Structure 1
Amino acid sequence: MYSFARPLLFALDAETAHRATLYALGVAERSNLMKYVAQPPAPLPVHAFGIDFPNPVGLAAGLDKNGDHIDALGALGFGFIEIGTVTPRPQEGNPRPRMFRLPAHEAVINRMGFNNDGIDALVRNVGKSTYRGVLGINIGKNKDTPNERAVDDYRLCLERAWPLASYITVNISSPNTRGLRDLQDEETLRRFIGELRETQERLASTGKRKPMLLKIAPDLADAELDGMAEVLLASGIDGVICTNTTVSREGIDGEHAQEAGGLSGAPLFTSSTTVLRGMHERLGGRIAIVGVGGITEGAQAAEKIAAGASLVQLYSGMVYRGPSLIGECVEEIRRQGNPA
């Protein structure tokens, strides 16, 4: 079905197409028509950071920032869904246009800027959902919160999301919030993660423990990865997501190629996988890794697993391939060996 819908969607600007796709999925889910949209893959169980996943292929954050479409997305066959990034207070994000397709490169550039309705709206939406699968909630800071107080924003979101999330992702790697990536600096990260880990353990003491993951950038030098790995091992964090979008435009040309924002899609695959492999080597298998960035075919999902990931996530590849990419990735991972 997606092959028929794609030309219509690509006739729209990228952000309008994004909204139209989610609306159509919601209609299909409510009308019991999802069997015509996607065929969920057979189970391929994976156990990572204390959670049992029905398969290792998940949805990356960014597609459903407010948790408005969890039920429809859950019906596509993902092994887990990550919603957000969400901030304490609602914010509009950057001015439109702020999302651009680069079809010749199977890529997307976005500078959305954490546009979302705020943590309270997300909590309400999750509460109304009937989805009972693995749900990650990706948290960030408001753009007008200075970095010296950023931990307060993350702590508030962590506390509010805690009862509803299967796991929490801390996003300090988006290039679209000024200064956010500065939180990845080794000494800043040590203090920042230390405070959030204290909050995590305090919340865990009142009930079930929830894993906390850190999402990092692909634009990190070896020395930066060395320092980050040292901090993560010392902190006791549960997992790492490698990676967010890139600010690099190497090998990219044509219309929209020099738009500001984070680049995702096929051109990101090599750099994100290099960071994944490097972090796996540095962490020595002691912290689980989720591989995301540039997956447009099943073989690339399997390559992320071979590089050290326990799980993978999709986003921009879905723009170009549609929901069939989910099953293709699961089956190729299955063919090359169950990651569990």
Structure 2
Amino acid sequence: MATAEQIKALIKSYIEDDDARFCAVAMQVAAHAARQGHGRLADELRSLVDEAKTRSGTKRRKTPVPIATPRGELSELLVASYPQIRLADMVLTDPLRQRLIRILKEYRQQHKLRSHGLSPRRKLLLTGPPGSGKTMTASALSGELKLPLFVIQLDGLITKFMGETAAKLRLIFDAMDQTTGVYLFDEFDAIGSERAMANDVGEVRRILTSYLQLLDQDTSNSLIVAATNHGDFLDRALFRRFDDVIGFSLPTQDLARELFKSRLSLFNTEQVGWTQVLEAAEGLSHADLTRACEDAAKESILSGTTEIPSERLIAALNERRAIMQ
């Protein structure tokens, strides 16, 4: 019969409407049933999964997918996508999760707030070390609200010509008003840091001034998300312009263990020595831990097993640490 982890994975994938993951877990249950001698049950499960895949494919073909593709000069400034990720896919501290849920709740029920002269949190500043989940959070907000995610390409935005960057910024903010979405300014410290302005008191300062003016003037229905790895370097004037400033950090041991359990839910981790694994994970980011899980999972799959030994996971973590040094 299905293991406890498989049952949890089935329920989670159903809640998140993740058909591919649901079918993958169901096939794991079928394989487990076959190994225990329940051949008829295994065959029935496989048949049901095949039927579900067929129906799911037909449903997807009948459902048109809205496409919001930047055109003209905007095509050099914005990259559009439709993330499927949800907050439930992320391993977060409870306080951080509650703050993100509050943002979603305010956005979804903004009509109630506006009827009382209040506005939802729309302008967000995310700070924290690389790989701590800032970009993934923007994707999750996009997925939860079923809005397109537009990532601003800073290399196309910043030019050497006076005034040209400000004009491009205006194009982006005009797009926010015309096409509702989640607009992500990643690596925002490139234009918002005091250090950048110290190195170039000309164009960078003008860019920041233009950004602050446009941010203040924005009355669109879009979410504006700025993410930075160097919150300490940002100009202090920026912080009061945002509706919310959210800090991210490296995972604690409890959070790291939860992440491992989530990412490896389809594998047998009963023999994992968590004390040694968590020691090896110390100081690594969420992204590093996720990649290590994927590397260990790939090796197990190619070795023909569903078991994740401690040494395999620790080796993957050490490899990630070596890459980051």
Structure index of larger Rg:
2
Greater helix proportion: 2
TM, length-normalised to structure 2: 0.32
> What's the TM-score, normalizing by structure 1?
0.31
Q: Which has the higher strand share?
A: 1
